Amino acid sequence: MYTPCNYTMSAFYKSISLSRVIHVDKINDLNSNEQTVLKDELKVAIDEMQFMVARVKKEKETHEDDPWFHKVNKKINICNQFIRIIDLQKEKNKTYKTQYKDTFKNLLINKLGVKTYEALEQKAHMLTISELMEL
Look at the chain and report how many structural domains it folds into.
Answer: 1
The predicted-structure confidence for 16-53, as pLDDT tens digits, reads as follows 999 999 998 888 889 888 999 999 999 999 999 999 99
Give 60-122 as a DSSP string. -S--TT-HHHHHHHHHHHHHHHHHHHHHHHHHHHHHHHHHHHHHHHHHHHHHH-HHHHHHHHH
The number of C-alpha atoms within 13 Å of 44 and in the hemisphere containing its C-beta is: 9
Residue 84 in any domain: the answer is yes
**What pLDDT, on the 0 to 100 scale, is given for residue 128?**
87
Number of C-beta neighbours around residue 93 at 10 A: 13
- Taking alpha carbons only, the member of 49, 43, 51 closest to residue 83 is 43
Residue 7 in any domain: the answer is no
Give the global pTM.
0.66
Residue 20 in any domain: the answer is yes
Report the C-alpha gap between 37 and 82 in whole angstroms: 12
Which are the contacts of 26, defined by CB distance < 8 A and separation ≥ 6?
10
Long-range CB contacts (within 8 A, 24+) of 65-71: none
Residue 118 in any domain: the answer is no
Residue 119 in any domain: the answer is no
Residue 122 in any domain: the answer is no
Residue 130 in any domain: the answer is no
Residue 58 in any domain: the answer is yes
Report the C-alpha gap between 38 and 126 in whole angstroms: 36
Domain enclosing residue 90, as ranges:
12-100
29-41: b or e for each residue (b if 16 or more CB lie within 10 Å)? ebeeebbeebbeb
The predicted-structure confidence for 69-113, as pLDDT tens digits, reads as follows 899 999 999 999 999 999 998 888 778 788 888 999 999 999 999
